[in-house]
Amino acid sequence: MRTTHTLSVLVENKPGVLTRIAGMFARRAYNIHSLAVGPTDDEAVSRLTLVVGAEAVQLEQIVKQLNKLVHVLKIVELDPDESVEREMQLVKVLADPATRSQIIEIAEVFRAKIVDVDHDSLTIEAAGNPGKLAAMLELLAPYGIREMVRSGTIALSRGSKSISDGSRARMQRVV
Amino acid sequence: MEITGAQAVMKSLEALGVDVVFGYPGGAILPAYDPMIEAGFQHVLVRHEQGAIHMAEGYAHATGRVGVCIVTSGPAATNLVTGLTDAMMDSVPVLAITGQVASTAIGSDAFQEADVTGITMPITKHNELVESVERIPEAIKEAFYVARTGRPGPVLVDIPKDILNATLTWNWDDRVELAGYRPTVRGHSKMVREALELIATATKPVIYAGGGLVRAGADDELFEFATRLELPVVTTLMARGVFPDTHELAVGMPGMHGHYAAVRAFQETDLLVTLGARFDDRVTGQLATFAPHAKIIHVDVDPAEIGKNRPVDVPIVGDVKVVLEQLNEVLGAKAAAGELERFKPDAAAWREHLAQLRREHPLRVEQPHEGVVKPQTAIQAIYEQWGDEAVYVAGVGQHQMWASQHIPYTRGRQWINSGGLGTMGFAVPAAIGAKVGVGPDVPVVAIDGDGCFQMTFQEIAAAVQHDIPVVFCVINNGFLGMVRQWQHLFYDDRLSQVALPQDLPDLLKLADAYGIPGFRVQTIDELETTLAKAASITDQPVLVEFRVDPDEMVFPMVPAGASNDELIESAEEWHARVAAAEQA
């Protein structure tokens, strides 16, 4: 059974919304593998991509508990076969005149870009799925990695469907 | 019309129909206390902010309406934390308004600054730090709406002082728009029919009635449903009274200190019709062995409760009152068509079995004819004195369990206690709030323990000052009784830090200090006459102390973490079991 799930979450762009979500995960001892958040085409709405570690029953609870947060608008689980998932990675690797061309060659194989060059280092930008990024990192490791950073996963479903289909606010009587 | 943010708070509360707020003024909330002088609601001045939130809870428990409290920033707001958590656990609709330091000072560690929305995020249903004066009416209206709808709960609105002082053009709209909050009210009709089909095939069905029924005010709908299908009803600690204990279908309370027949009903049933209950560990005991033969129908307004602890056969998300109306509607149509019999489970033998268990395993109290008063006897006498019309409010511990076991409740909201969080000190302020809610004609009787009482008795001053005539009964056994009970049973009677001397403080002098009548019952022969005297005073708060037998323990009992099959009915049974285990 799959234990890693990617959730796309639309939230109102309100102060503390990320804290609410992170806090809920911590409080209920749920496991976040990665989290990425950014704006959408609607400035009132942000989109989170959460990769969580959970069995089916716990995943259901995670989704239900997320839904209880007032600022959460919509949650969709993305099927890995029906979606595009990407992470971005920046790697600063040691490079001298003897190794520089080999490193550039590796970067090219992974369709990565050289974004900074210094006398004794290169910084490589790569995007892709986690497996590809890990493979590139493994090949670069022998040259000496000075530092690296990797983003959380972002993902979209394949095809023309949109996460925001059918989510419209309704007025409710207060008293 | 230009008004201040503080005035907007008052007008918003008035527009929402709030008739009372419980509060305590201070620095950051000062602007709100000025227009409050003219506000169209009562303010009850508490003596500690924890009292304010428990009073708001008590009011909400007793009336079903949103309880409101107002306090200042920093230490006042942090004093709400226990009550907010309590309200979260027991789904109590509460609105807490807190002052905050000026928005320009936030983050500077200013005087009486605390990150109140941060602190209360996990213990509120929702909260908000108001960032502009124009937002005040919306924020309060939304908070009120979120607090009382769906699964009710506490909502906190934190308002900086400069925003209370700023001005806005007053504008009120009765509607709210919350894109991310749309509770499901009606149950899925296919699931409703499936539930009825499943009930029809059961031979040992039982209704597991939870606190959600009380919150929904679903007494009548439950009664119609249960009696029409002749389903036995078990009412949890949070639901006592929602189905009358006096009815032949009532089986009692389940769980750690439940009635024997109710605990057995769950262990033997083939179908749990779960209504607004959440499979709490104090009900289920060891989850793996709970209701091992049962299929599960689970109705709850909170989808996250369904399947959380126990897999479900027929899930129904919806307001339990509305779902019961739907169930009753289908049954009504079947009855009109002469088909009701097909939906009634063949459970006569089961009902007789449960009735027999109730006859054979009553609660046991060995009250001597003279001398010492057993705490259970004291509680029975309280009920005999104040009767079915009264609302009973308990603290947490032995007295709470006895009050839940020994009083025959006949309606929801007649029994108020802190179930999920187990908040000692709940009773005194909650009873005051409840009394404000139910008004002069309904007696409110707090049944408290001596430990609990000493956590919050300062609120008697609020009751006196505002003429709120609550009866405060203190079951004084000179111990933290429930802790002592566990130390006796599970720690080889090694008592550690559980003694609270019975005359410290002298509760009659305490009553005197507050200027209220105080009574003390020490022996069984004075029980009735003293209570009659206490009950004759209805125009001011009264304190009645019962000096009771400290050795009494709460039974039946399922040891923590054990299976409900391990239910013990007496201390002798426990000691015999321990001795047998040692021999083996």
Could you write out the three-class secondary structure of B24-66? Answer: CCCHHHHHHHCHHHHCCCEEEECCCHHHHHHHHHHHHHHHCCC
Q: What is the CATH number of the domain that holds A26?
A: 3.30.70.260
Look at residue A170 and tell me whether its pLDDT is greater than 60: no
Q: How far is B284 from chain A (nearest CA, A)?
A: 19
Asked if residue A127 belongs to a domain, the reply is yes
For residue range B163-197, what is the model confidence (pLDDT) as tens digits?
A: 999 999 999 999 999 999 999 999 999 999 999 99
State the CB neighbour count (10 A cutoff) for residue B537.
Answer: 14
Provide the percentage of residues in chain B whose pLDDT is more than 70.
100
Overall number of domains in chain A: 2
Please pick, among B112, B458, B502, B540, the residue that the annotation labels catalytic. Answer: B112
For residue range A104-159, what is the model confidence (pLDDT) as tens digits?
A: 999 999 999 999 999 999 999 999 998 999 999 999 999 999 999 999 999 999 99
Residues B424, B478: Cα–Cα separation, whole Å = 16
Decide if A175 and B174 are in contact by the 8 Å CB cutoff: yes
Decide if A16 and B181 are in contact by the 8 Å CB cutoff: no
- Give B133's Cβ-side CA count (13 Å radius): 19
Q: Which of A26, A57, A78 corresponds to the end of one domain?
A: A78
For residue range B28-40, what is the model confidence (pLDDT) as tens digits?
A: 999 999 999 999 9
pLDDT band at A174 (very low <50, low <70, confident <90, very high): low
Asked if residue A99 belongs to a domain, the reply is yes
Decide if B121 and A167 are in contact by the 8 Å CB cutoff: no
Question: Does residue A106 sit in the same domain as residue A146?
Answer: yes
Asked if residue A143 belongs to a domain, the reply is yes
Q: How far is A22 from chain B (nearest CA, A)?
A: 11
The structural domains of chain B, ordered by start, are 2-169 (3.40.50.970), 189-360 (3.40.50.1220), 375-553 (3.40.50.970)
pLDDT at residue A2, as a whole number:
77
Please pick, among B161, B204, B295, B374, the residue that the annotation labels catalytic. Answer: B161
Look at residue B81 and tell me whether its pLDDT is greater than 90: yes
Question: Does residue A94 sit in the same domain as residue A110?
Answer: yes
Q: Which residue has the tokens 């007053």?
A: B170
pLDDT at residue B584, as a whole number:
82
Question: Does residue A63 sit in the same domain as residue A92?
Answer: no
Asked if residue A168 belongs to a domain, the reply is no
Decide if A16 and B141 are in contact by the 8 Å CB cutoff: no
Region B377-405: mean pLDDT is 98
For residue range B437-465, what is the model confidence (pLDDT) as tens digits?
A: 999 999 999 999 999 999 999 999 999 99
pLDDT band at B270 (very low <50, low <70, confident <90, very high): very high
Asked if residue A115 belongs to a domain, the reply is yes
Token pair belonging to B458: 């300062």
Is residue B112 flagged as an active site residue? yes
Decide if A173 and B174 are in contact by the 8 Å CB cutoff: yes
List CB contacts (< 8 A) between B126 and chain A: 70
Question: Does residue A99 sit in the same domain as residue A150?
Answer: yes
pLDDT at residue B1, as a whole number:
84
For residue range A39-81, what is the model confidence (pLDDT) as tens digits?
A: 999 999 999 999 999 999 999 999 999 999 999 999 999 999 9
State the CB neighbour count (10 A cutoff) for residue B497.
Answer: 9
Question: Does residue A29 sit in the same domain as residue A66?
Answer: yes
| Closest listed residue to residue B468, CA positions, set B59, B9, B10, B35 | B59
Decide if A174 and B144 are in contact by the 8 Å CB cutoff: yes
The answer to whether B24 and B52 have CB atoms below 8 angstroms apart is yes
Region B547-557: mean pLDDT is 97
pLDDT band at B400 (very low <50, low <70, confident <90, very high): very high
pLDDT at residue A164, as a whole number:
81
List CB contacts (< 8 A) between A67 and chain B: 303-304
Asked if residue A174 belongs to a domain, the reply is no
pLDDT band at A173 (very low <50, low <70, confident <90, very high): low
Question: Does residue A127 sit in the same domain as residue A101?
Answer: yes
Q: What is the pTM of this model?
A: 0.96
Torsional sign, CA B543, B546, B550, B551: negative
List CB contacts (< 8 A) between A20 and chain B: 121
Q: What is the CATH number of the domain that holds A106?
A: 3.30.70.1150
User: For the CA atoms of B445, B52, B511, B365, what is the dihedral angle to 10 degrees?
Assistant: 40
Q: What is the mean pLDDT of chain B?
A: 97
Is residue B370 flagged as an active site residue? no
Please pick, among B11, B49, B290, B305, the residue that the annotation labels catalytic. Answer: B49
Question: Does residue A19 sit in the same domain as residue A54?
Answer: yes
Decide if A175 and B16 are in contact by the 8 Å CB cutoff: yes
Question: Does residue A91 sit in the same domain as residue A29?
Answer: no
Please pick, among B482, B487, B545, B546, the residue that the annotation labels catalytic. Answer: B482
Asked if residue A166 belongs to a domain, the reply is no
Q: How far is B106 from chain A (nearest CA, A)?
A: 14
Question: Does residue A137 sit in the same domain as residue A105?
Answer: yes
Domain of residue A12 covers 4-78
Question: Does residue A15 sit in the same domain as residue A74?
Answer: yes
Asked if residue A175 belongs to a domain, the reply is no
Q: How many CB pairs under 8 A join A and B?
A: 72
Q: Which of A78, A101, A124 corresponds to the end of one domain?
A: A78
For residue range B198-245, what is the model confidence (pLDDT) as tens digits?
A: 999 999 999 999 999 999 999 999 999 999 999 999 999 999 999 999
Region B260-265: mean pLDDT is 98
Q: Is B566 helix (H, G, I), strand (E, B) or coil?
A: helix
Q: Taking CA atoms, what residue in A is nearest to B137?
A: A174
Question: Does residue A59 sit in the same domain as residue A93?
Answer: no
Nearest to A171 among B142, B175, B302 (CB): B175
Q: Taking CA atoms, what residue in A is nearest to B175?
A: A173
Decide if B176 and A172 are in contact by the 8 Å CB cutoff: yes
Q: Taking CA atoms, what residue in B is nearest to A74?
A: B180
Q: Taking CA atoms, what residue in B is nearest to A166?
A: B179
DSSP string, B314-370: EEEES-HHHHHHHHHHHHHHHHHTT-HHHHS-S-HHHHHHHHHHHHHS-------SS
Question: Does residue A136 sit in the same domain as residue A88?
Answer: yes
- Tell me the ipTM for this assembly: 0.92
